[in-house]
Structures are given as structure tokens and as C-alpha cells.
Amino acid sequence: MDRIRTVTVRSPSMLRETGAVLNVVVQIVFWTAVVTSLTWNRTTGDAAKSKLEIDEVAFASLAPADQRMFRASLEGLGEAEDVRSRTRTWPTVEALAARGIPPFAADPLDHAGYAWRMLRDGTLINYIGTPAASAGPTFVITVLEPDPGTAPDPQVETDETHHRLGDGTMLHVSIWTGPRTLGVAMATPPFEDGWRRITMLSPEAPRT
Amino acid sequence: MRQLTILLALVLGVACSKPPRDDAPAPGSASPAVPAAAPGAKDPRPPAAATPLKVGVTLHPYYSWVANTIAGVPGAEVIPVLPGDVDAGNYQPSPDDIAKLAGLDAIVINGIGHDDFIRDMIKASGNTHLAVIEVNAQTPLVKSAHGEGQNSHTFISFTNAIQQTKLIAKRLGELRPASADAFATNAAAYGDRLRATQRAVAAKLAGAKIKRVVTVHDGYTYLLQEFGIELAGVVQPAHGLTPSASELGELIELMKQSKVTVVLTEEDFPAKLLATVREATGAKVYIISHVAVGAYAPAEFETVMAKNADVLVQALVTDPT
């Protein structure tokens, strides 16, 4: 036969009950602070990491004249890609200028006097815009085609550095700003010489 | 309030709308979804080139761009989602407008804040086949005049219009490959016309006496930048908001210090506030438009932008001489 056990249950005193509640509150506040702090650090860390690489400069941070040149360069790159899609040949600066395509065409609002030329090395194409007498930065539009015979990868998505031609060919493209002109075609002008790839920040900010 | 409106519209709009088209191509699909006919059977379907392609738009400029891109292509149609007399900034979704989305194959949207209402409307429409074309996907964005946000008025720009029309043509070509060349050719011709206008205006503005302005609305940064004009300040603290007395006072002080003598305003901005600015600074006021309301028309964007360009030439070149 089991023994009968008697247990007396008493309410805690006012002091002990208050202490217990305070303890719970402190625990909640403490651990919430810990979790929030960790989340905050991780979020800001990711954001900072995702913003810019060391050899990049944000379009939004450029001077208005340089923003204008970048926008014109994007337009010119798009037109050059169209010609390449139709004719399988990259157009010359002169051909684009003759059609009035910026930034290659004469620009009455260009106070820096940019002169454009094209360099080519195999599958690498550069359009280089150099200002007269260091009146502004040099701009370089780089295009790198895949090696001949490389099958297009339909899985690769287009973005600011990947443009797809009409025939499916995926190009690697970029626009750079730097202190001086280039003598030879380059896919990645050297960071240590002051070259920066201009990047467009993702449109996440709210409308104002 | 907008959430409630959309919820209500969901119930009413979907009940009143047609079901999604079975033959609508899926987003990004390589070809229109026209199934092959059985051998020997008489095919009642229209030829692929005449397959309907209904393209919705949220903003007036997009209507013009799409209309010019699809011009002459059989079966292609552009459909504005909003009534013409409603500015997207003041828009409240309606059941009728949501019903329009149900029958679309694609929709062209701003996607960076100018038409945020559209995503809930698309969900409410039940159209799961809709291809959403975000025209700003490859557009560099400048900062807003106030705050750290990005300026969503990319459409008030020749350069952006040319490139975004080209993007639309490309996306529509992916939806209907049989018409891809026609879309690309149309977009290129439209771009050439816009570029010619831009070039002519640039030539006139090269001799501008004044190169710094204030605008009432923060919608002209892209356009002014294309013409090498500095934006010294913006009157409205945010889209559609009237500035407080202190904000107006700060702007007037800025205009005096920077010797700004031109203000570009819009027709609906309060005349009394403008009079205050004019009296305090002696600046001249000119009216331009951000192509936000009016009858939808293929030529609307070109017409309004040409007028805007004429106003700039008058304000910065003709009148100061």
C-alpha cells in the first residue's frame, strides 16, 4: 500500500512574488536585447557588404556631369549591342556618332570635350572617352564576349554586368571611370591606378 | 484605407472580372502559348502573328511608349489601367481597374515607388500569367531632392524613355517572338525621334544664360541633368505635399543666396505660394508637366516633352536675353 504524502502549498509572499515577476521581466528584456542586437548587427553587416566592392563607385554618388555621362554611355552601349546583334560586328565610334548616338556623337553640352575611340583585343572591346586637358574623368565602356563556340547559358540572368544579345550570346559589360586614358583594351582597368566600376544601386528606397 | 479599398475591390473586382485567358503566355515564356493542332484537323485558331497581346500600363508615358512599340503589330493592344484624369500619386484602386488586369498578358510598371498600388491589384485580379515589365530594372537612379530615397520620376527624361522603350520591346518580343523584330524596329524608330528632339533642344540650351533652376515638383532631375541644368532646390517636401511656411522660407533664402531666377512649376500648384516665392525672390515662374494626367495617346509623351523642352529654352535662353 502506498504511503499517503501530505504537501502544503502556500502562495509566495508579496515580496517573493514581486521578485519572481521582476526576474521574468529582466530575462525577457535581456534576451530580447541580445537577439535584437545580433539581428541588427547581421542586417547592417549584410547591407554594408552588399553595397560596394572596393573597386566600385555608386552611380548615385557621382557628380551630375558624370552621372550624365554614365547615362549616355549606357545608351550608347545599348545601341552598340543592337548593331552587334544585327550585323555580328561591333560598330565603330564614327558609325555610332554619325547616327547621333550619345556619348559618341558631338554634344553641344559637353564642356569637357570628350573624344571617343574604340580598342579591340580578340573578344574584348573597349569604347574609351577621354576629356580634353583633364577636364574630367575618363570613361571606359568594356564588353567581353564569350570565347567563340561557347554555348549560351539560358540560366544566366541579365543584370547591369550581363547583357544578352538577340542571338542569346551573353556579354559581360561594365562602365568604368578613371584618371587617365587606356593604351590597350582591358576588361578590368586596374584598381590601384584609380579605376572604379560605376554601379547602379538597387532601387529599394521609398519614393519621396 | 488603401488596403481596405483593395480588399473590397478584390471581392467585387474578381467577382465581376473574366477569368484569366487560357492562352496567355507565362512570364518569360519563349513563345505564345498556342497549342499544336491535331494532324489533319482544321485549325480554327488565328495565325500566331495575330494572337492577342494585351499590354497594360500604369503611367501615361508608358502608354505612349508601348503604343509606339506595338504600332502596326496585329493583335497587339495597349490598355491603361488608371483613368486618364487621375494622377498615379493620388490614385485609389477601383474594382473596374482591377478587372482590367485580369485580361492582360503583360503590364508595364514603374516598380520603384510610383505605382506601388499595382502589386496588390495584380494579386487581387487573380491573373497568375501576367508578365510584369519593370521599366526601371536597368535604369540608374538619382537621389530625391529631399531625404535619401531614389527619385522614381525616371520617365520624365529623353534618355530614359529611349532605353526603357527598348527594354519594353525586348520583353514583349520574348512574349511574342514572331513580332520581336517589329517591336525592336518600332522602338528604335521611336528612340530616334526622341533623340532628335533631345539633340535639337541641347543645341539651343548650349547657349543658355541661366543654368540653375528651382522646381516645385521633384520630378525633373533626370531631364534637367540631360541638359546640363543644375537643380538648386525643390519646393515640395514630398510628392504632392505643400511646403510649410518655414520650408518655403528656407527655399526662398536658398534662391536668394544662389541667385536662382527661374522656378519651374506645374499647373496644380497653389498660386498663392508661387506668388510668395515670386515676390520674395523676383524669380520668373514657368509651367512644365510631368506627363501625369490627360487623355492617353501614342503621341502624348513626345508632345508634352517637346513643350517642356520649349519652356526650358524660353526660360533659360530666350527670356534672359
Give pLDDT, residue A21: 87
Please compute Rg for chain B using Cα positions: 22
- B3 has a pLDDT exceeding 90: no
d(CA A173, nearest CA chain B) in Å: 13
A37 vs A174, which has greater pLDDT?
A174
Interval B58-108: pLDDT, tens = 999 999 999 999 999 999 999 999 999 888 888 999 999 999 999 999 999
Q: Which of A65, A74, A203 sits opposite B112 (nearest CB)?
A: A203
Q: What is the mean pLDDT of chain A?
A: 87
Give pLDDT, residue A198: 97
Of A21, A142, A7, A149, the C-alpha closest to A73 is A142
Asked if A109's CB is within 8 angstroms of B140's CB, the reply is no
Q: Give chain B positions within 8 Å (CB) of A82.
A: 166, 184, 188
Interval B215-239: pLDDT, tens = 988 999 999 999 999 999 998 888 7
- B13 has a pLDDT exceeding 60: no
Q: How far is CA B61 from CA A9, A91, A167, B292, in A?
A: 77, 31, 30, 8
Give pLDDT, residue B9: 47
Give pLDDT, residue A16: 84
pLDDT (average), residues A116-139: 94
pLDDT band at A113 (very low <50, low <70, confident <90, very high): very high
Interval B166-204: pLDDT, tens = 999 999 999 999 999 999 999 999 999 999 999 999 999
DSSP B233: E
pLDDT band at A8 (very low <50, low <70, confident <90, very high): confident
Contact at 8 Å (CB) between B54 and B45? Answer: no
Give pLDDT, residue B243: 87
- B18 has a pLDDT exceeding 70: no
- Which of B115, B138, B160 is the best mutation test for A, with the most CBs of A within 10 A? B138
- B44 has a pLDDT exceeding 60: no
Note whether B159 contacts A: Cβ–Cβ < 8 A: yes
B269 vs A88, which has greater pLDDT?
A88
pLDDT (average), residues B245-262: 90
Q: Which of A60, A75, A78 sits opposite B141 (nearest CB)?
A: A60
* Cell triple for A180: 587617365
Give pLDDT, residue A48: 40
CA distance linking residue B298 with residue B294, whole number of Å: 12
Give pLDDT, residue B40: 37
d(CA A117, nearest CA chain B) in Å: 21
Asked if A207's CB is within 8 angstroms of B239's CB, the reply is yes
DSSP A61: G
CA distance linking residue B45 with residue B11, whole number of Å: 33
B280 vs B15, which has greater pLDDT?
B280
Give pLDDT, residue A202: 53
Give pLDDT, residue A46: 45
β-pairing verdict for A115-121 and B131-134: unpaired
Contact at 8 Å (CB) between B232 and B260? Answer: yes
Interval B268-316: pLDDT, tens = 888 888 899 899 999 999 999 988 888 999 999 999 999 999 999 999 9
Q: What is the mean pLDDT of chain B?
A: 85
A142 vs A5, which has greater pLDDT?
A142
Q: Give chain A positions within 8 Å (CB) of B227.
A: 109
Give pLDDT, residue B28: 33
pLDDT (average), residues B17-38: 34
Note whether B203 contacts A: Cβ–Cβ < 8 A: yes
Give pLDDT, residue A204: 46
CA distance linking residue A98 with residue B170, whole number of Å: 25
Give pLDDT, residue B62: 98
- Apex CA A43: angle with CA A41 and CA A48, to 5°? 95
Note whether B202 contacts A: Cβ–Cβ < 8 A: yes
Look up residue A114 and give its amino acid.
Answer: Y
**Burial degree of B301 (CB within 10 A; 0-12, 13-18, 19+):** buried
pLDDT band at B25 (very low <50, low <70, confident <90, very high): very low
pLDDT (average), residues A35-53: 59
pLDDT (average), residues A144-160: 89
CA distance linking residue A125 with residue A171, whole number of Å: 11
B162 vs B8, which has greater pLDDT?
B162
The three-class DSSP label of residue A73 is helix
Give the dihedral sign, CA B241/B247/B248/B254: negative
Closest chain B CA to residue A198: B140
HEC states along A138-204?
EEEEEEECCCCCCCCCCCCCCECCEEECCCCCEEEEEEEEECCCCCCCCCCCCHHHCCEEEECCCCC
For chain A, the distance separating the N- and C-terminal CA atoms, rounded to the nearest angstrom, is 80
Give pLDDT, residue A38: 63
**Burial degree of B254 (CB within 10 A; 0-12, 13-18, 19+):** middle
pLDDT (average), residues B103-118: 95
Q: Give chain A positions within 8 Å (CB) of B162.
A: 75
Task: Using a cut of 0.95, tell me whether the model's pTM lies above it.
Answer: no
